[in-house]
Amino acid sequence: MDDINARLTVLAEENSVNLKIMQSNHEGEIVSFIGDNIDWADGVIINPAAYTHTSVAIRDALSAVNLPVIEVHLSNVYQRESFRHFSYISPIAVGVISGFGALSYELALRAMIEVLKSKNL
């Protein structure tokens, strides 16, 4: 994760984008972070990991902030167990990036930058 975060920080700086990075294995901390940053953020890139398939709370928090969301997964979830094919987050996301390993995060940040540029036209 440190390498991914370092590359994202550089990419954000190169594009004059402010970036906050957080990681937690606790659903409530994720929900609180989303809500606590509603006035700061213009978009959310999230890898909900196993919460993808289980967390209505994270979905509700993302819906409540009314910001563009990009869902990210390191692995191609469709090459994995069938229960991983369902996501609570995908229906509210502007896009899903899955299966490109660490590059998935960089692709998501580039996509979010473009999404936000198009909103400002």
Token pair listed for 70: 């990009």
State phi, psi for 112 to the nearest 5 degrees. -65, -40
Q: How many folded domains does the chain comprise? A: 1
Q: What is the CATH number of the domain that holds 9?
A: 3.40.50.9100
11 to 2, 47, 107: CA distances (angstroms):
14, 18, 10
Q: What is the pLDDT of residue 81?
A: 86
pLDDT at 120 exceeding the cut of 90: no
The residues facing 72 across adjacent strands are 97
This prediction has a pTM of: 0.93
Where does the pLDDT of residue 119 fall: very low under 50, low under 70, confident under 90, or very high at 90 and above?
A: confident
Question: Domain range for residue 19?
Answer: 2-119
Where does the pLDDT of residue 121 fall: very low under 50, low under 70, confident under 90, or very high at 90 and above?
A: low
pLDDT tens, position by position, 98-110? 999 999 999 999 9
pLDDT tens, position by position, 18-69? 999 999 999 999 999 999 998 999 999 999 999 999 999 999 999 999 999 9
Of 65, 60, 75, 3, which is closest to residue 28 (Cα–Cα)? 60
Q: What is the pLDDT of residue 84?
A: 81
Taking residues 63-90, what's their average pLDDT?
Answer: 92
Give Cβ neighbours of residue 26 (< 8 Å, ≥ 6 apart): none
Residue with tokens 């469709």: 78
For the chain, what's the residue count?
A: 121
Q: How many CB atoms lie within 10 A of CB 82?
A: 7
Token pair listed for 77: 């979830």
